[in-house]
Every structure is written in structure tokens, then in C-alpha cells.
Chains A and B, each alone.
Chain A
Amino acid sequence: MQLVSLFFTFMLIGAVAFGGGYAMLPLFERMIVDTHGWLSRSLFIDMIALSQVTPGPIAINSATFIGFQIRGVLGAFLTTTALVSVPVALISLVSFNVERFKRSQAVQAIFTGLRPALAGLIFASAYSLSSDTIFDVWTFAAFVVFSLLLIRFRVHPIPIIILGAVFGLLVYSDLLPALPFV
């Protein structure tokens, strides 16, 4: 039964996952963490970090990790296959009629509403995930600095993850004397 609902959940996510990797996170969070409780919120965030520092598509990394956590290799195979099932069917259909799809006004019209919605969805995900993650002055300051580095100075995600690990080690372990406000 769990395998069936695992497959169905990931198929649904894949069917509406416009915009790639990050735009899928709100769907993952709501269905995997909230509805089914297959993964805790902090493990979900750790999973995103792992997806960033390993090669490959982020959504495939996420689906594999979640599936493997829940039901081992079979679970990982099932979630990954389910995630791509609907899009692959659509791509196959479109590939027979590329010209018509390209000129389609309907596709462009749908995206005028979808594009801003994706930004809103991703912000919603950042907001709900931040509740356990940004919990004091130091984590808030780190968030501001990391965001500036990413947006203003176009720093690659991997150095930002490494910087986060160094920040965590210095502030939240006993390597250095305790900082105020921790």
C-alpha cells in the first residue's frame, strides 16, 4: 500500500512540476513532510543540501533520497520513475509535433500566470523551512550574508554550502568559546 501511495505522490508532483528543481520543493515539502510525514523537516533541508553538493539533477537527487529513506533501493527506483512518468509521456507526445507546440498561444498564456506563481511558491518554501533553521541573530545574519553573496556577487551554491558548514562548526560546536545570543 505504501508503495502505491509513494508512486502516486511522486507522479502527481512530477505532473505539475513546472520550472525545474527548486520549484518542486514546495510540492515535496507539503506532500512528503506535511501530508505523509515520510521525512522530518530538518532531514528534508539536509536532503536539499546533499542534492546541491552531489552532481546530477536536483529533483532526481531528491526523489532518490526520499524513496531510499522510505523503502530502500525499490523505493528510490519507484519515486524516481514516478516523478518522470507524466513529463516523459508529454515530451514523447510533443516530440511528434514540435512546430505546433512552439507556435501554441495557449502554452505562452499559461506561463504568464505560472511564472510569477513559481516565485511565490519558492518564497513560501523558504519561509516555512526557515522557522526551525533561522532561530537566532547569528543564523539570521548568515542568511543575509549568504543571500547577498548568491544574488549580488553570483557566488556558486557549493562554496555557500561549505561556508554554511564552517559557520555552523564555529558557532554551534565547542571549537570556539560560546558566542553571545546563541
Chain B
Amino acid sequence: MDPALYKLFFSFLKIGAFTFGGGYAMIPLFEREFVHRYGYLDEEEFADALVICQSLPGVIAINFAVFIGIKLRGGVGALVSGIGVALPSFIIIMVIAAFFFQYIENPYVEAAFTGVRVSVIALIFTAGFRIFRRNRTLFGVFLVALTFVLVAIAYVHPFFVILAMGLFGYVSSKTSEVVDRATR
């Protein structure tokens, strides 16, 4: 059953406009809309889409919209879905950014933002901690510490650290496979 393009657009627009907390918060809403409400995808197709979107770089919500869009309506579907999910953010943020500087000079706004910045650091720390908690092997902790030192202390560019760590993961997995095979 192929959904009409305008339906696809409005489904993504709605989720983009009313979900706070980023891409991960959107996933259950995508599932409700596309699997349970309209039945465009079954559970397994949805799970596949999720794995793929998380294994590729990029914005999870956009990856998901584009993948679903292609699957249901090809290239035009991808375009319509991607624009739908991004458009509300795009407009809301520009409206806020346009007014932001008029108020930032106000001493009360400034005091409030002094506190809000602390909240942001706690949010970032928490995001790191949640990933860290799932990687508490000796190897995992070593890589977390190594990345931290490289980026925060040695000031290596995160771009190269990401490439190096991906390569390192690949090589070490392949090596342990070879060792497994040799020692079997």
C-alpha cells in the first residue's frame, strides 16, 4: 500500500513539529505512525530501518525519513519526507535566532542563561555517560579514556579521532577473527 505523498509529508511534519529531545525521542512516534496507525511497514522492516539509520553517519531523524521515503515512494518520497521532518525545526529556530540577541543583554535573561548553561553541560555529560555505561569492558573503558585524552587534552581534531577509532575497531575485530581461526 503506497501512501500519498502529501500524507507522507504531513506525517513527518507532525512528528518533526511536536517531538522534543531530538531523533531518538522520535523513534517511538515513527513506529506508532508508520507501523501501527497506517501499516506502511511491518515490525521487521521498521527494525531494519532503525539499525541502518543508526549505523550510518548523520541526523537520525533525517536518515529515517529518507529511508522510509525511498522505500514507500522512491526519490520523491525521500525528498518529501526529509523536508517534512526538518521544516518545523528550520522555521522555529530561525524565528528564535532572529529575536535572541534582543534579549540576551537583559541582566535577568543573562542570569537565567548562566544557569541554563550548567543544565546543558549536565545533559551532554549524561549523553556520554549513557553510552559509556553500555561499554564497560576493559577494552571499552580504555577506548573511552583514550578518545577523551586525545580530543580534550592533546587537542587532536575529532574528525581524525572518529576515523581512527572506526578503523581501529575494524582492524581489531578482523585480527581477533584471524587469531580465532588460527587457534581453533
Instruction: Say whether A and B bind each other.
Output: yes
Using CB atoms and an 8 Å cutoff, list the residues of chain A in contact with chain B.
Answer: 12, 14-23, 25-27, 30, 42, 45-46, 48-61, 64-65, 68-69, 73, 76, 80, 83-84, 86-88, 90-92, 94-95, 98, 101-102, 105-130, 133-134, 139, 142-143, 146-147, 150-151, 156-158, 160-161, 163-169, 171-175
State which residues 132-173 of B face A: CB under 8 Å: 132, 134-135, 139-148, 150-152, 157-159, 161-163, 165-170, 172-173
- Chain A interface main SS type: helix
Q: A16-B163, A57-B22, A116-B132 are in contact. List 9 more A-B contacts (CB 8 A).
A: A52-B21, A87-B57, A87-B58, A121-B161, A125-B128, A126-B125, A139-B114, A157-B21, A168-B116
A124-B118 Cα distance, complex, nearest whole Å: 16
- Chain B interface main SS type: helix
**What residues on B are CB-neighbors of A163 within 8 Å?**
115, 119
User: What total count of A-B pairs have CB within 8 Å?
Assistant: 382
A133-B54 Cα distance, complex, nearest whole Å: 31
Q: For the complex, is B1 an interface residue (Cβ under 8 Å from A)?
A: no
Interface centre among A102, A124, A161, A173 (most CB of B within 10 A): A124
**What residues on A are CB-neighbors of B4 within 8 Å?**
none
* CB closest chain-B residue, reference A113: B169
Question: Contacts A76-B94, A160-B119 given: A113-B166 contact, CB under 8 Å?
Answer: yes
State which residues 86-112 of B face A: CB under 8 Å: 86, 88-90, 92-94, 96-98, 100, 104, 107-108, 110-112
